[in-house]
Structure 1
């Protein structure tokens, strides 16, 4: 059962402050208030709020899609010194690694790789060859879900580029959520943005992007599990094609406090 705190979380002007323990102050009511306030906000205000509250315990994840590149550009413009990381499964496209290098050089930053301790060879020895075919959920757990959980274990907030219109599994995404798996505040500044709006931003600011996007790949993950999509399909329909799977497991459907317990 969720314990509702007695003391009221402060709200002053555009800034919401989280007092003391996040678990005891980030109530469902406060989340609702935050999301109502940020509904018409630009990403800058949301990122500024996040860094103001969490400082260097706020980290930014990217898969080097256009949404992530947009957020990196905003962070650089705002001079917010947040750590930026990506999940390196050792199965990413060559184009993705090249884009990472280009982004690092453009913004003068270093993007931290977060990886499993298990090499692909060790994974094959333990679970069989091409685990992504025989048990894709297990492969994602080993190479993405568990490394992320370990990395976020000493963090307080995680910024992502996910959006509601990317897939049916993301339609309930809020701008600020509680992540019950990783026990962090999850901040999604672009949750309400459309795909067209993101790409307009990329083009307006002449930002680099993965060239695979020009060949029918709206989203790009690991090589074995990413294919082009047909016209009219949602953005993530090219991931794990022909399987009942469109999420790797790091982005749970927005549930806020549904599965949460206070410690």
Structure 2
């Protein structure tokens, strides 16, 4: 376990040394986020932490944001979707559009998550993620450092080789604040309306958009969006 911790910290330090102010950690406030925030703060790494508030998060997620700020003396930058985009979407399709089709669910994720992240990443050169290979079949092929072949924005995955047991061992050993929904068998936590507890034997991300029967591949688009969108589509002056 100690070797995995050292490897994760080394990758974080490498990312910071390489990218400096161009590096950011968008935290989902799940259990991996707890580990990442603790590693960043425990080792004095000047990596800003931000999170996306979609407007439909469970209270437990807001509670862990507050717990991080109190424990570590940091201010988490909270990023919101564009209210006009959300209003137009809901006006056209209704408040629960994500249940109507995979396409509309992805549109909801795009407006509430992807577009705000695009604004937050503008001007950045790299970001940290809490993704692990064990989380799903779709993440089994991830690499520790990934580079978009066209635009060069890099992703660092310090917890890539960690198991869920590793994550929990770290959290318990260091008494790290965590999202209490995990205690009710929510392993992957997003919007309240799109997240459920999982049962024994299910994929870790099976509790996300479970009604889609794998049609949506259990991804919201944050990790599959075009780097062209991040790098070029926002007007100057739009920011966090």
Same fold (TM over 0.5): yes
**Greater RCO (CA < 8 Å, at least 6 residues apart):** 2
Equivalent residue for 2:90, pick from 121, 124, 141: 124
Matches for 1:81-120 after TM superposition, within 5 Å: 81-118=46-83, 120=86
Tell me the CA shift for residue 156 of structure 1: 0.4
Q: Is the 8 A contact 1:152 1:184 kept in 2?
A: no
1:133 matched to 2:99? The reply is yes
Are 1:150 and 2:119 counterparts? Answer: yes
Separation in 1, partners of 2:203, 2:223 = 17
Higher helix share: 2
Q: What is the 5 A alignment of 1:206-225?
A: 206-225=175-194
Which runs of structure 1 show a deviation greater than 2 angstroms over 4 or more consecutive aligned residues? Answer: 38-41, 118-123, 126-129, 179-183
Q: Taking structure 1 as reference, are residues 180 and 67 closer, same or farther at Cα in structure 2, changes over 3 Å only?
A: farther
Higher Rg: 1
1:70 paired with 2:35, answer yes
The match for 2:135 among 152, 166, 169 is: 166
Distance, in Å, in 1 between the alignment partners of 2:33 and 2:150 is: 22
Q: Which runs of 5+ in 2 are unaligned?
A: 226-240
Output the CA distance in 2 between the equivalents of 1:247 and 1:85.
20
CA RMSD of aligned residues (A): 2.1
CA distance in 2 between counterparts of 1:182 and 1:149 reads 14
Q: Is contact 2:113–2:222 with CA below 8 Å preserved after alignment?
A: yes
Instruction: Normalising by structure 2, report the TM-score.
Output: 0.84
Specify the SS of the correspondent of 2:9: helix
3-state SS of paired residue (2:220): coil
